[in-house]
Structures are given as structure tokens and as C-alpha cells.
Amino acid sequence: MLEFVRRRPLWAAWLTVLVWLLSYVAVKLGSVAGLDIDGAEQVYFAQSWQLGYGTRQPPLYTWMLLALRPDGGSWPVALEVARYAVLLAWLGGTQALARACGASPGRQALVVVAHLGFLLAMWRVHDSLTHTVLAAALTTWGSAAAIKALRRPAWWPVVGLLAALACLAKLNAALWCASAVLAWAWLQWRTRDEAPAASLVQTGLKAPRPGWLAHLAWLGLALLLFAALLGPYAQWWWVQREVSDLPRRVLLPSDAVPPWQPPLQLALGTLEYLMLTPALLAGVAWCLRWRHRLPRQVLPGGLRWLAAQTLVGLLVLAGVVTALKGAHFTPRWLWPVLPGATVWLVLWACEVAEQHARQTTDRRWPRRLVGVAVGVALLSIAVSALRWWEPERTAQRCRNCWTDRPAVAFSHALHQWHGEPLRVITGDDHLAGILSAADGRDLTWTAVSPDLPPPQGFATTPWTCVAAWVDMDAPQDPPAELMARTRGAWLGPVQHQTWPLRLAPQRRLWLQSVILDPAVCDRAHP
């Protein structure tokens, strides 16, 4: 086994990824839980092809789901296939990025395995963060293409293509686009007096470094491609009336926020983002360098670009958050903006360990780095077992109990009360999604998200128009947004039915519904 790992490190790394993937898939297959909030929202969005599905989430992930939309199949299966396909694309991007930096197959394998430990700290990738992971995958591959463009400017259009797709996956990927070009400009300026061989990316090429004009010509083509792909969505996004309100809803700006709070939140979020394996390896390497007084190394061009992009990306993000006086920061925002930070940390740790081995003839530390990465990856696989008990623990105290909602029973009850098919205005996004997943003939729309357009045909199809909402433990009035949209249009009494929670039978779910004047659905708009 050890001989196989030494001879085929990349095979061993991807077999580890396969075991990690199968462990979580097995847990999900054995779970009785329904769709979580992220999955239900994706089903809700994927009722029809549209240019935009609200100003906060760009449409690329929804378009991908529409291409995978099951024809009589299972939405949960389609959602999991898309989720883990994107995760594998992101892990593949980390290997491609390490390879672009000149890493050996052994170091590429270490990068892939180390990111399984990184995902241990990012528990939520298994039930949410879909748009974020897709954008991170695209910017990771884009970073690999950008490093190739340092030597071959013809790669810049590939960077432009991936940058446009990343922005169609998550809006904050635009910060990566800006920082990638600024990092290239800074690196070109810093190395302007170096000999050609000194700034080579480790690809074995000895050709002279391309000049500014060659880069600018290909960058111009990349910019045209970027604008052509992103332009239609950017125009749609800009004319939405919620755009001016988007920073407030995302960053929660406040004049009461002291000037030091946003940078501090960014610094703490960065530490959380770099957990677990990349931070451990970098910490070990830093201790080695400090303890043995190792001289500073001249890093290859690819790693220098990664370091520059990480630094510039942090500065740009810090400037945005500070200028808007943001009181809220989430570490996952860093994924698409700094896709190479974790790869850089792992490769830098390997460089330091190899430098220490050359100076002391002690080969134990490179092997210890591998041991740390493999150990944390195995821990990440073992931790998947905790998901067997998570639903039962959550059911005792959840406020909305998304995964405990019986979608098919809800849909059947609505059809018994009002006939079928239906146009349903719901009190939350999750209910809209699970009703659409339970019966694809129904068209659903939520009243609580002001920037989400109704699905195509909702306002023109002459089906019965109803309102529906879900309460926990006791029936209540509709949510304020639903009440405001339907006030004065109720055409009958409120129907209701209750179900016990599967894992907490002492608690109950209440589904309530009322038939509406068809004009409410006919005039549906964000």
C-alpha cells in the first residue's frame, strides 16, 4: 500500500477523495430528512429559464440545475449530483493550480488531500454554499489559467471566459477578477529588471518573457469576451430596483460601526477560512523557518502571483467592507475571492520543509507534513458519521424545521382542498421549493423575497390561485409579506392540517392555506 502511494501519489489522493465522497453520500442515502433550505430554493428557482433569479444570487448554478432537471426523476438526486460535481471540480482546480505553479505530482496530491481537511472546517458544503463553491471552482481554474498566461498571454481569453462564468455564479467573484489583473501588473512591475529565467513559472520553458504589449492585446480580447458573456445579465441586474438596497441586505452597513471593526472581522474571517489543514501545514512550516533561521527563498513566478493575488484580493475586499461600514462578514465570501490562498499555503509549507531537509539532511519533516494532511483527511471522513445524529438533535429545537417538512403530504393536502394543478403563493422560499419538487405541475412563488420574479406562466396560466404557509407548534397568521400581498383577496376560509415531526413527535407542523382572487396571481411581479 505504501509503495502504491509513493509510486502513484495522485491516484492515492483521488482514491481518498472518493472514500470521502462515498462516506457522505452513504450518510445522505440513509437519512430520512427532506430538502434543506438551499436545495428547496434551488428547486424553486429552477421552475423556468430566466435571466435572473433575484439580485443576490446570479443564475449560473440554477441554469446548470435546469440542464440536469429530472424528467419524472428525483430532484434530491439531481441536487446531490450537482453539489458533488461542483465540489469535485473545485478539488480538481486545486490540483490544476498546484500543477500550474510547477508542483510535482506528490505535492499536487498533498494539495488535494489537504483540501479535504479544509472542507472539514467548512461543514456546510454538504447542504448549502452551492453558488459559492461553483464560483470558487471557476476562480480556482481561472487562477491556474492566469499563471499560464504569465508566460503565454494567449491564455488570457481563457481567464476572461472563466472570470465571466464565475461572476455568473457569485457576484463577489468580481473582486477576484480585479485582483487577478492587479496582481499580474504588480508582478510585471516587480520583475521588470530580472533576467528572463528568474521570473519563469516552473514549466521548463526558456523563452523570453512576453512584453507588456503582447499581454495587453490578449487582455483586451479577454475583456471583450468577459463583457459579451456577462453583459446581458449585468444589464438585467443593474435595472432591478433592489440593487441599491443590496449592500444593506448583505453587509448590514451602519454608521455606528467603528472604523476598525470591518478590517478586524475580515482578519478573523480569513483565519477561519484557512482552517484546518492549510493553516496547520503553514504553522508547522513557519515554526521550522523561525527555529532553524532558514533564509528567505525566491519563490517561483506562479507562487508569487498567488501571493500577490491573495494580498491584493484582501486589500480590495477590506476596502469595500470598510467603505460600506459593513457590520456583517462571512468567511465563505473569501472562497471565490482568494481561491489560491490555501494552495499557496500548502506549497509554501512544502518548500520550507524541503529547504530544511536540504540544509539538515533530516527528511522527516516533509513526511510529517504528509502525515498531518492525511490524518486530518481521515478525520474528515470519520466526522461524516456525526451526520447520523444531527437531524434528531436539530429537530428538538429548530425554528423552521426545513428538512422535517413532508413535501408530498403538503402537496396532497393542497390538492385535496383546492384541486390541481395550482398557482401557489407561499410564505417562504422553502415551501415554494418543496411543493414544486413534489408536483412539477404546480407553479409556486414566494411573497417574502422581494427581488425574485415569478416563474414563467405564473401570471398567465388560468389555474386556481392559493396562498399557503407553514407554522411550527401552533397555527398563526400568515407572514406579514404574504398578508400584505393577499389582503382583501381571500375567497374562502383558511384550511389547515397538522403533522408531527418524524424525529420529535411532541412537536407539530401546521400547513395553512386559503383560496385567493385569481387577480392576485395574474398581477404577480417582484
CA angle 201, 204, 210 (to 5 degrees): 55
Grid look-up 505530482 returns: 105
Beta bridge partners of residue 497, listed in sequence order:
511
**String of DSSP letters for 178-214:** HHHHHHHHHHHHHTTTS-GGGG--SSS--SPPP-HHH
Do residues 338 and 240 lie in contact, with contact meaning Cβ atoms separated by under 8 Å? Answer: no
d(CA 421, CA 520): 17
Instruction: State the cell numbers at 272.
Output: 477561519
Do residues 201 and 102 lie in contact, with contact meaning Cβ atoms separated by under 8 Å? Answer: yes
Name the nearest CA neighbour of 58 among 173, 198, 184: 173
Residue 462: exposure state from Cβ atoms within 10 A (0-12, 13-18, ≥19): exposed
Instruction: State the cell numbers at 64.
Output: 446548470
Name the nearest CA neighbour of 156 among 226, 234, 92, 233: 226
Q: Residue 73, SS3?
A: coil
d(CA 436, CA 443): 7
Distances (CA, A) of 477 to 468, 473, 483: 11, 13, 8
Do residues 440 and 46 lie in contact, with contact meaning Cβ atoms separated by under 8 Å? Answer: no
Do residues 438 and 410 lie in contact, with contact meaning Cβ atoms separated by under 8 Å? Answer: yes
Do residues 464 and 423 lie in contact, with contact meaning Cβ atoms separated by under 8 Å? Answer: yes
User: How, if at all, do strands 464-472 and 422-426 pair?
Assistant: parallel
Write out pLDDT tens, residues 8-62.
899 999 999 999 988 888 887 777 677 888 888 889 888 888 888 876 789 999 9
Label each residue of 340-393 as H, E or C. Answer: CHHHHHHHHHHHHHHHHHHHHCCCHHHHHHHHHHHHHHHHHHHHHHHHHCHHHH
Do residues 94 and 118 lie in contact, with contact meaning Cβ atoms separated by under 8 Å? Answer: no
Ranges under pLDDT 70 in the chain = 1-5, 32, 55, 70, 72-73, 120-121, 192-209, 241-255, 298, 327, 450-451, 526
Instruction: State the cell numbers at 515.
Output: 383560496
Alpha helices in 54-129 (DSSP H): 60-67, 75-100, 105-121
d(CA 199, CA 211): 13
Amino acid 70: pLDDT: 66
d(CA 524, CA 526): 7
Amino acid 246: pLDDT: 63
Q: How far is CA 515 from the centre of its chain?
A: 38
Distances (CA, A) of 2 to 5, 6, 13, 110, 353: 5, 6, 13, 15, 21
Torsion, CA 65, CA 66, CA 72, CA 75, rounded to 10: 30
Grid look-up 500550474 returns: 100
Instruction: State the cell numbers at 155.
Output: 491564455
Name the nearest CA neighbour of 391 among 503, 283, 526, 295: 503
Amino acid 384: pLDDT: 79
Distances (CA, A) of 415 to 48, 94, 457: 22, 48, 19
Write out pLDDT tens, residues 457-475.
898 898 999 999 999 988 9
